[in-house]
């Protein structure tokens, strides 16, 4: 379970270009729940994700995972419980290392790293099995450097790396936005399959309204640094892309009037 309590973050405080990124954001995501976060640019989606992953320190507020307060922990300590797929396929994998080495790094995310040989036969067989699920042929390219893979392959690898070891929380940061539509669908299908099979608590940020309608248990719409609207289970089954865009429209009008 993820709990964000009264999260507040202000950039450039006291300067003319002061920007409130998070203004007392509250959000609870139950164990096994798949939340889809939408919102216009500057609504606080990235700030929220970065605050949860630890790369952005909050001014005030708390972040709890399964009841444990992780607000003060650095990124690498949170990583034992949180897995993340970045928007940029380049960020999520180590380009100059092989597919198998990347898988090893991900496997060790929540473990103590020892002075034993990393890539043993048992692990390689395991990686082959896990990558075969994607159907991209990555299981035959374990010794290929990741920078020789396509963006879609790299992002698929990132996904398999992230869902391995069943993290307490999976963060997906517009992870299909940089891919072509067909590859984006493949990665998205693989995401949904993994999240459902492993019952992962998942927070996905997306700009794709169709994805927000099709996937997940709850749509969470952010605006001006707090949760503007939530559309849960029963209601979400009937929601359409037009409905969601409608919510954007009222907000944009208000923004226009305010400016």
Partner 1 sequence: MIDFLQTTLTSFVALIPVTLAQSLILGFVVAGIMIPFRMLSFPDLTSEGAFPLGGCVCGVALAAGLGPLAAIGLALLTGFIAGCCTAFIHLRFRIHTLLAGILVMTMLYSVNLRIMGRSNLSVFGTETIFDWVPFVQPGFPLAKIIAVGVITLAIFLALNFFFTTEKGTAVRAVGANPVMAEAQGINVWAATIGGIGLAGAFSAFSGALMVQSQGFADVNMGLGILINGLAALMIGEAIVGKATVWRQLLAPFAGAMVYYQLVSLCLAAGMPPPDLKLATGAFVLLMLALPTLRAARGRQAAAPRESFRE
Give the residues lining the site for partner 1 (CB under 8 A). 53, 55, 75-77, 79-80, 83-84, 86, 90-97, 101, 104-106, 108-110, 113-119, 161
Residues 6+ apart with CB under 8 A from 64: 1, 2, 3, 5, 70
The nearest distance, CB 247 to partner 1, in angstroms, is 32
Nearer to partner 1, 75 or 242 (CB): 75
CB of 65 to partner 1, least distance (A): 14
Instruction: Identify which of residues 115 and 257 has a Cβ nearer to partner 1 in the complex.
Output: 115
* Closest separation in Å from C-beta 40 to partner 1: 26
- 19: three-class secondary structure by DSSP: strand
Residue 142, helix vs strand vs coil: coil
Q: How far is the CB of 165 from partner 1 (least distance, A)?
A: 10
Closest CA to 187 of 147, 251, 144, 138: 138
Q: What is the CA radius of gyration of the chain?
A: 19
Residue whose entry in the numeric block shows the structure tokens 């995401």: 191
Least distance in angstroms from the C-beta of 168 to partner 1: 13
Shortest approach of partner 1 to residue 107 CB, angstroms?
9
- What residues are paired with 223 via a beta bridge? 226
Instruction: Give residue 236's Cα distance to chain centre.
Output: 20
Closest by CA position to 135, among listed 189, 63, 93:
189
- Give 125 or 242: the residue with its C-beta nearer to partner 1: 125
Q: How far apart, in whole angstroms, are the C-alpha atoms of residue 209 and residue 236?
A: 13
Select 109 or 211, whichever has its Cβ closest to partner 1. Answer: 109
Question: Would you put residue 211 in left (φ > 0), alpha (ψ -120 to 50) or beta?
Answer: alpha
Q: Which two tokens stand for residue 240?
A: 């359409």
- For partner 1, the closer of residues 77 and 254 by Cβ is 77
Looking at the Cβ atoms of 53 and 191, the one nearer to partner 1 is 53
Count Cβ atoms within 10 A of the Cβ of residue 128 and give its class: 0-12 exposed, 13-18 middle, 19 or more buried.
middle
């Amino acid at each position: 379970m993820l709990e964000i309590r009264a999260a507040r973050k202000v950039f450039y405080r006291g300067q003319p270009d002061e920007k409130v990124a998070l203004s007392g954001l509250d959000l609870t995501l139950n164990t096994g729940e798949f939340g889809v976060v939408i919102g216009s640019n500057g609504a606080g989606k990235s700030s929220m994700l970065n605050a949860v992953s630890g790369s952005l320190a909050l001014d005030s507020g708390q972040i709890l995972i399964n009841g444990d307060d992780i607000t003060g922990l650095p990124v690498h300590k949170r990583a034992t419980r949180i897995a993340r797929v970045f928007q940029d396929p380049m960020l999520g994998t180590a380009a100059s290392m092989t597919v198998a080495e990347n898988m090893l790094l991900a496997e060790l995310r929540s473990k103590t790293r020892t002075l034993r040989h990393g890539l043993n036969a048992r692990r390689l067989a395991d990686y082959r099995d896990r990558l075969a699920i994607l159907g991209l042929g990555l299981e035959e390219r374990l010794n290929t450097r990741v920078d020789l893979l396509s963006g879609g392959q790299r992002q698929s690898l990132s996904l398999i790396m992230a869902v391995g070891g069943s993290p307490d929380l999976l963060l997906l940061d517009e992870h299909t936005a940089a891919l072509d539509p067909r590859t984006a669908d493949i990665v998205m299908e693989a995401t949904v399959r993994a999240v459902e099979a492993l019952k992962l608590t998942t927070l996905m940020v997306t700009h794709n309204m169709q994805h927000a309608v099709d996937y997940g248990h709850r749509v969470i719409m952010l605006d001006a640094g707090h949760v503007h609207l939530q559309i849960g289970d029963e209601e979400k089954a009937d929601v359409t892309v037009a409905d969601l865009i409608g919510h954007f429209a009222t907000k944009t009008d208000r923004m226009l009037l305010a400016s």
